[in-house]
Every structure is written in structure tokens, then in C-alpha cells.
Amino acid sequence: MPREFRKPIDDADPAAALTNARIAAILTEIADLLDIKGESSFKVGAYRRAADSVARSGVDVAQAYREGEPPRLKGVGGSIGERIEELVTTGQLPYHEALRAEVPPTLLELLAIPGVGPRTAGEVWRTLGIATLPELERAACDGQLRQLKGLSAKSEARIIEGIAELEKRPPRRMRIGEAHGLAERAVALIESLPGVASAVAAGSVRRWRETVGDLDILVETDEPAEVLEALRALPVIESVEAGVRGGADRSTLRLVDGPQLDIMAMPAGSTGSYLVHFTGSAEHNVALRHRARERGWTLSEHGLVPLDDAAAQPMTFAAEADLYAFLDLAEIPPELREGRGEIEAAEHDELPRLIERSELRGDCHSHSHWSDGREPLEVMVESARAAGREYQVLTDHSQSLGIANGLTPARVEAQRRVIGELNERFAREASDGQTPDGADAGFRLLHGTELEITTDGRLDYADELLASFDVVVASLHVGRQQPRRQLMARYETALRNPHVGIISHPSGRKIGVRPDLDLDWEAFYRLAAETGTLLEINGSEARLDLDEHRIRAATEAGCRFVIDSDAHERDDWAHLDWGVGIARRGWVTADLVANTLPRDEFITLMREKPHRW
DNA sequence: GCCGTTTTCGGCCCGACTGTTTTCAGTCG
């Protein structure tokens, strides 16, 4: 996978909120520019690690600095700490600006070309004055690059090809659902080939990352050459990527109209270290190698080799658990392998027992034709029932959300009657032993609403009507650009209302489309915990909201959750899978999630606020 | 530039591949 296409930071708006993500982006750009400049790789790495640390921190770093309580962040020492402080207090970072003046930020675009790294980019800039993609392409076509040290006519051809490829197919990351679907198909396809003992998707798919760049497939076989040859010949394989990753036991391919596939063969019976290595993350692997070194070993995908005998045969492991055990660690679930404290937890046997999909008994957020759902209420409810759930909450939109055909109070009452009749039928069928196969005899459709928090900070229904719902899910779809104080005031109204059980998709983000709401998150979590209002982990793949970082921060603040599909059609029930995946990445255990409760307990819980159990 | 059961200096993760090489640097995952 070519590195991600990184545009220079848009600094047109210096007043843009200094979120952790923006601070991290600035530190990353500093690292890139230093790299091109030819600075020590350790210094460059230090900025990258610091950026990473800021990005994944649960606290609002800018706010913490402004309040005079800088958080302890791994990789942020005196020098970088001072730069962050200057940035968040003055809104400017002269060091960064000076670097941008010295090294043209447009050079970052060159790094997206396969085979072009910071050294090459720096070299063409220094010797030929090239700073942009078109300039590089022209120079390559004119044969100017071959005069540079380490570059030849062959390199020029590769660069021209790489630029063309980039224009034809800009790198993009798949959403979680698409990635898992494709990975499943690829694995099934590969397992059908002769000589294949097993295949498994590793990489970020296996860790359930919210977006995925390419697919890494491990193939257990004793005949790697034959298997890879057969694979390359399949009609669904569009092309064999040139050069990047060839060799006897690995191959880089591309699915027709699909993502890049990195295929790695591993010898049967010694798959433990391969799985660990290719599942990652990079940070997790680094931490593991550190640990191996402390114990006198060097760790790679092939296994462990003694530090004092590099020529020794690697010690191999049949299973991941064996490798972890050798390093005195409990086996770490793939979702936790991000270098966020999982090694320490595994060392002390304090890994959480993560929630499983099978532990969800109900779903608290779904829509139908009555508002903006794409299927009739009856169709949605029958499929939820057939899926074996104990309860489904129908939460069509409230009246002010006209664009989604929100329900007036009169339509709410009409819908209540329809739901009542359906539940009567379900009860009748249960007592007659007529419950359909796969359905839970106790299944009930619960009546909820997705209650709009209006721009002027009111709730969209009167309290008496709110009290009549089984579940009230409050959310904010309009007036997203309001200043932080106003947004917080709106959320506070909802959180303090005794009938509001759940705040839905709290950050309001859409992945890759629009950013989070500007909230005082610490205060938001505190209020949710204090009022006993549940926070939703919304599993629709464009949202995944709360995200994994916020989930952990909210947990630490004492919050509790529900995991919901926000389904608008039957296919959307799969969102529950994605929601559970993200929850697991947020270290969530079943006891933190209200919709793991049996139906009656859940109904009772939702009648009482604060919701604590 | 960061960090410390190798602690204030001297390290800093690993292997494979590529290209232009006579021993290695750059790129990638």
C-alpha cells in the first residue's frame, strides 16, 4: 500500500479548533518536513510518536495545556511539549511555519508515489528545485532524474507509472463493512485453492479498525510458489502490482475494482508469529519486540532468534497464545493491539473480557417508513425478530426533523397503536407455540423516538409525551456549527431530562465527511455519568460514534453505553457487528452495555433514571 | 528528540526487496 496521500495542512484558517487530531496533523507534518530535509531519523520518529500519542489521547490536549495541566503523554518530552504549549496558547507555531517556508509543503504530495520516499523527494527538490507532482512528472519524462545519485532511467519509468496510477486510482480507505465483506470473500476464494491448509485475514481488518486501506491475507501452505501462481491466474485478480512486493512467499495483487491484497504464505504449523506480525499494529509489534529484546531475543514474523546467536534457527510457535505466553503475556485480542497499554494489562493479567456480539440481546435505535427508514415498520420488525433478538426499539424521528418526515404527536399515538397490535400478535403466537423458527418467543417491539434537540436548545416533544415512550434516544442533527457553549447547553438539557435515556451518536461525525461537534468532552462525559444517561455506540459504518478513543475516555469518566444499529433497512442490522467491533477496540466489557440485559430488565432500567445497574 | 530494572548518555524494531551496487541506502509494511 502506498503511503496515505497527505495533502499539506490547510492553514487558511488558523482559528480552526485545535483538536487533538489537528495538533497531531501539525506534528506529523513537521516530521515529514524534517524527514525531507534530511534530519536524523530518530528526531523525525520522535515527532511521529508524539503525534501518535496526541491523536490517541483521551483528554483534550489543547484544553489541558491551557488549564496549566499538560497531560503525561508518551513520546512528548520537554522540547515537543513546549512546542505544543506555544501552539495551543498563541494559536501559532513559528517553528512549523519556518519549516514550511524552508521546505515546500507540496513536496508531501510526492510521497504518495510508490517508491518515492522522503530521501528521494528531498534530493529532487534540492538538486532540481522540483516541489510538485507535475514538475516531477515532467522531469521524469525529460530524463532529468537519471542524473541524480541512486536514480536511473528505470526509476524514472517507475515514477511516471506511479503518478499515472495515482491519478487513475487515488488511494482510499474502505469502510469497515466493505472491508470485512471483501476479506471474507478473498479468504473463501484462497481456501478453495489446492495446497492451501487455511487462510486468514490479518492486518487492520482483523483488528476491526474503522477504516481499512488494503487487505492482508495469510495463507498457510507448504507449497507457496504453486499457491501464489494459482492465485495470480484467477479472473478476479485484476493486476499484479509491479515490484513492490514480489518474492517466493508473498505477492501484492489487486481485486478487480477492489482493494490491494497483500498475500503472505506461512509454513504450516508455525503460524503464531506470522499472525502476530501481520496483524499488527506497528506500534504493538514494536512494543513486543522491545519486550523480546529485554529477554534476550529478537522477534520477527519467523519467530524468535537469540540476540547472541543471529544464525540460529528461529523458535516458532503454532499459535499466537504460545508466543504471548513465551513473553509472559496473556493472549491479547487483536482489537486491543494498538500500543495503548495492552501489553502492560496482559503482563498483569488485567486484560478486559471484551464484549461479544452474541451478548447483545436487543437494539435500541432503528427506523421505518414512518420517518426516514427505507422499509415498512412490519418488515423491519419481522426481520429483527427473525434474527433472534429479544427486543428491538423503533425510534423514528421526532416532529421538527421535517426532512426525515418526523412524527407529530398524533402520528406518535397512531404508531403506538400499531406497535401494540404487533406485540399482541407476538404474545399470541408465543402462547400458541407458533413463534417462527429462529425468533425469540419473548420478542417485543419497544416504542421509542429519536428525539431532536432543536437549535434553540429545546426538546422536540413535551415531557408528558416523552414519558409515554419505552425508550427516548436524543440526538442533535441541526445547528451543528454552533459554538461550543451553545452545543453543550443543548446537550445538557437533554442529559438532565428524566425521560432521555440515551444520547445517540454523540459526536455527530461522519467518517471522512464531517468532523466531530465542538464539545467540552470531559464535561459531557461527567454529565452523562452523573445523570446516568447512556451514551450510544452507533454502529452505522459511516458514523461509528462514539469512536474508540472517546469510548475509553467515557468509560473512565464512569459512563455506560448501548450499542445500536441505527438501521434504516434490514441490511443495516450488520451495523451491530461494526458497533461491537469498535466497542471492543474501546476496551468495552459486556457489563458496561445496557442492551446486553434481558428484555424485562432493560425495560425496567429505561423507566428509571439515572440508568444504573 | 525521547528515554531510563542497560537512567543523564547512548541507544532508539525487523525483514524483504530494489536498485545501483562492490557493501549499502532507500522504501515498504
pLDDT tens-digit readout, A540-557: 999 999 999 999 999 999
CA of A291 to C1' of B17 (A): 27
pLDDT at A604 (0 to 100): 96
Q: Which residue is nearest to nucleotide B18 (CA to C1')?
A: A243
CA distance A502 to A564: 11
Does the pLDDT of residue A43 top 70, yes or no? yes
pLDDT at A30 (0 to 100): 95
Does the pLDDT of residue A372 top 80, yes or no? yes
- What percent of chain A shows pLDDT beyond 70? 96
Does the pLDDT of residue A613 top 50, yes or no? yes
pTM score: 0.93
Q: Which nucleotide is nearest to A293 (CA to C1')?
A: B13
Provide the grid cell at A141: 519524462
* Range scoring the smallest mean pLDDT among A297-311, A371-385, A588-602: A297-311
Does the pLDDT of residue A530 top 60, yes or no? yes
Q: Which residue is nearest to nucleotide B11 (CA to C1')?
A: A42
What's the whole-number mean pLDDT along residues A403-427? 97
Do residues A298 and A307 touch, judged by C-beta distance below 8 A?
yes
What's the whole-number mean pLDDT along residues A564-583? 98
Does the pLDDT of residue A250 top 90, yes or no? no
pLDDT at A244 (0 to 100): 42
Residue of A354, A110, A112 whose CA lies nearest to A213: A112
Q: Which nucleotide is nearest to A111 (CA to C1')?
A: B27
CA of A12 to C1' of B28 (A): 33
Q: Which nucleotide is nearest to A214 (CA to C1')?
A: B29
CA of A150 to C1' of B26 (A): 9
pLDDT at A1 (0 to 100): 40
A503/A224: higher pLDDT: A503
Fill in the amino acid letter for A599: R
CA of A343 to C1' of B18 (A): 35
CA of A232 to C1' of B27 (A): 24
CA of A319 to C1' of B19 (A): 37
> Mean pLDDT across chain A, nearest whole number?
92
Does the pLDDT of residue A376 top 50, yes or no? yes
Q: Which residue is nearest to nucleotide B29 (CA to C1')?
A: A1
pLDDT band of residue A578 (cuts 50, 70, 90) is very high
CA of A117 to C1' of B19 (A): 14
Do residues A488 and A523 touch, judged by C-beta distance below 8 A?
yes
- What percent of chain A shows pLDDT beyond 90? 78
pLDDT at A273 (0 to 100): 95
Provide the grid cell at A280: 499488527
pLDDT at A395 (0 to 100): 98
pLDDT at A278 (0 to 100): 95
CA of A311 to C1' of B23 (A): 20
CA of A234 to C1' of B16 (A): 25
Residue of A109, A116, A88 whose CA lies nearest to A26: A88
CA of A50 to C1' of B10 (A): 21
Q: Which residue is nearest to nucleotide B5 (CA to C1')?
A: A294
* Range scoring the smallest mean pLDDT among A139-148, A246-255, A500-509: A246-255
pLDDT at A131 (0 to 100): 93
Q: Which residue is nearest to nucleotide B6 (CA to C1')?
A: A294
Helix crossing, A272-279 with A282-294: angle to 10°? 130
Q: Which nucleotide is nearest to A248 (CA to C1')?
A: B16
Phi, psi of A438 (to 5 degrees): 85, -20
Q: Which residue is nearest to nucleotide B12 (CA to C1')?
A: A42
Q: Which residue is nearest to nucleotide B28 (CA to C1')?
A: A244
- Helix, strand or coil, per DSSP, at residue A392: strand
Does the pLDDT of residue A14 top 90, yes or no? no
Do residues A416 and A447 touch, judged by C-beta distance below 8 A?
yes
Per the omega criterion (within 30 degrees of 0), is the bond before A451 cis?
no
Residues 6+ apart with CB under 8 A from A229: none
B chain positions with any atom within 7 Å of a protein CB: 1-3, 6, 11-21, 25-29
